[in-house]
Amino acid sequence: MTFIKVSLIKVILSLIDVHSLIGSLSFGWRCVLKVLKLSAQGLPQSWISLEQAVIHYAAGDVRWESGGEVAVFHGGTNAITGQQSIITVNSIIGTKGVPNINPFDLKSGLTNDKLFSRDRNICAYCGDHFHESELTREHIRPIGQRGPNTWMNVVTACKSCNHRKGNRTPEQARMPLLYTPYEPSLWEDFILRNRRILADQMEFLMAHVPKSSRLLA
């Protein structure tokens, strides 16, 4: 029954138009615009597309919403009332039900994009700011010395410093770290995994990051 309901909603979505409420957004921006999906208790669950958000609205799964309106979906006209169906999507939604997975049990996946964002594109050895194309993932304890590929053993380094340090620890290379690594919290991870966060979404997430977070700098 649930499968049939979702399938019908998807068919409806293929027939309706979407109009952005955020100025004159380009097509590319609309394609990557994400809605922050939270549990009913307010814990982040995932970044979802506008179409996925509409499915939640149409299924009656949205318990509460926050942030600004980001899009309006116009559907068909009711044959009896003559009214057109309209679904307005907000940038942050809280959905019904209890999550099957506790988000606090999830580990933040390590990627170069998230690592560079965590470290603000600053080399941990020379302290200069670089474009991402000039940065590398640097293992404090080298892999050649059985160093793990984990958040607590990696920092952002420019290509020059990474090459100079080589297969040595900072102490062995006499290249002291200018900052220490850390594993992002749940809230920080949601910021790091999305590069195009709306202002109200960012404000909501930043209000929950640890006070020691480098993202607050």
Q: What is the tens place of the pLDDT at every residue in 74-132?
A: 877 777 777 888 899 999 999 998 776 676 677 789 999 999 999 999 999 999 999 99
pLDDT of amino acid 150: 97
Mean pLDDT of 189-205: 93
Give residue 93's domain range: 2-99
Average pLDDT of the chain to the nearest whole number: 85
Count of other CB atoms within 10 angstroms of residue 201: 23
7 & 60 share domain: yes
Confidence of residue 217 (pLDDT cuts 50, 70, 90): confident
pLDDT at 104: 67
Q: Looking at the structure, do residues 121 and 47 belong to the same domain, yes or no?
A: no
Q: Is 88 a domain residue?
A: yes
Residue 127 maps to a domain:
yes
Q: Which of 40, 69, 99 is the last residue of a domain?
A: 99
For residues 8 and 56, membership in a common domain is answered with yes
**CB 10 within 8 Å of CB 3:** no
Region 140-166 average pLDDT? 97
Query: Is residue 71's pLDDT more than 80?
Result: yes
Q: Does residue 1 register a pLDDT over 60?
A: no
pLDDT of residue 8: 46
Number of domains the chain contains: 2
Q: Is residue 139 part of a domain?
A: yes
Q: Give the predicted TM-score (pTM) of the model.
A: 0.75
- Band (5; pLDDT cuts 50, 70, 90): very low
Return the closest-CA partner of residue 33 out of 16, 12, 54: 54
What gap in Å lies between CA 139 and CA 160, rounded to an integer?
Answer: 14
Q: What is the pLDDT of residues 24-65, one digit of tens each?
A: 444 455 567 899 999 998 989 999 999 899 999 989 999 999
Distances (CA, A) of 104 to 35, 44, 202, 204: 20, 10, 19, 18
Task: Tell whether 205 is covered by a domain.
Answer: no
The predicted structure's pLDDT at residue 31: 61
Shared-domain flag, residues 153 and 82: no
Please tell me whether residues 93 and 15 are part of one structural domain: yes
Burial label for 7, CB within 10 Å (0-12, 13-18, 19+), is exposed
Each residue's pLDDT tens digit, 116-142: 999 999 999 999 999 999 999 999 999
Q: Cα(165)–Cα(1) distance, rounded to whole angstroms?
A: 60
Domain check: are 167 and 130 in the same one? yes
